[in-house]
Amino acid sequence: VILTRFISIFIVLCLSEELKKHHDAVYDLAKLFLGQPSLQQILLPYGVLPGKPADPQENSSYGPDWLWYCLNLLPLNAEKKIVALSSTSLRQRLEMVQACLNAYRDPRSNYAFMMYLYMRR
C-alpha cells in the first residue's frame, strides 16, 4: 500500500514537472512571437502579454491569464475555440496555442496574422 502511494505521488510529480516545462516553453514562444516589433502597433489595443506564473495551475486549473490572452488573440477557427473553451485540460490548451504560434513563424504567415489583427480592431 505504501509503495503504491509512493508510486502514485511520484507519477503526479513527474507529470506536474512535465506540464510546467511545456507551459514555460509555450509561454516563451508566445512572448517571442508577440514581442516582434512589427506587431507592437497592432497589439496596442489588446494590451501586453500577461506575465508567466511560477505555477501554471496557480490561479486556476483552467490555465494562466497569458494563455487565455493568446487564445483570444490567435486566429483559431470556431471549432478550435469551442474545444478550447469547453476543455478542462491545460495541456490541450497549451498544445493549441503552440500549434498556432508555430504555424505563424513563417514571415508570410506572420503578415497574414498582422492583417487578421488589424481587421479585428
pLDDT value, residue 38: 81
Q: Taking the model in full, what pTM does it have? A: 0.77
Please list the pLDDT of the chain residue by residue as tens digits (121 residues): 676 665 555 555 555 888 888 999 999 999 988 888 888 888 888 899 999 988 887 766 578 899 999 998 888 888 888 888 888 888 889 998 998 888 877 766 767 777 777 666 6
* 8 Å CB contact between 63 and 91: no
H or E stretch covering 93: helix 90-103
User: Could you give the CA distance from residue 26 to residue 1 in angstroms, rounded to a whole number?
Assistant: 38
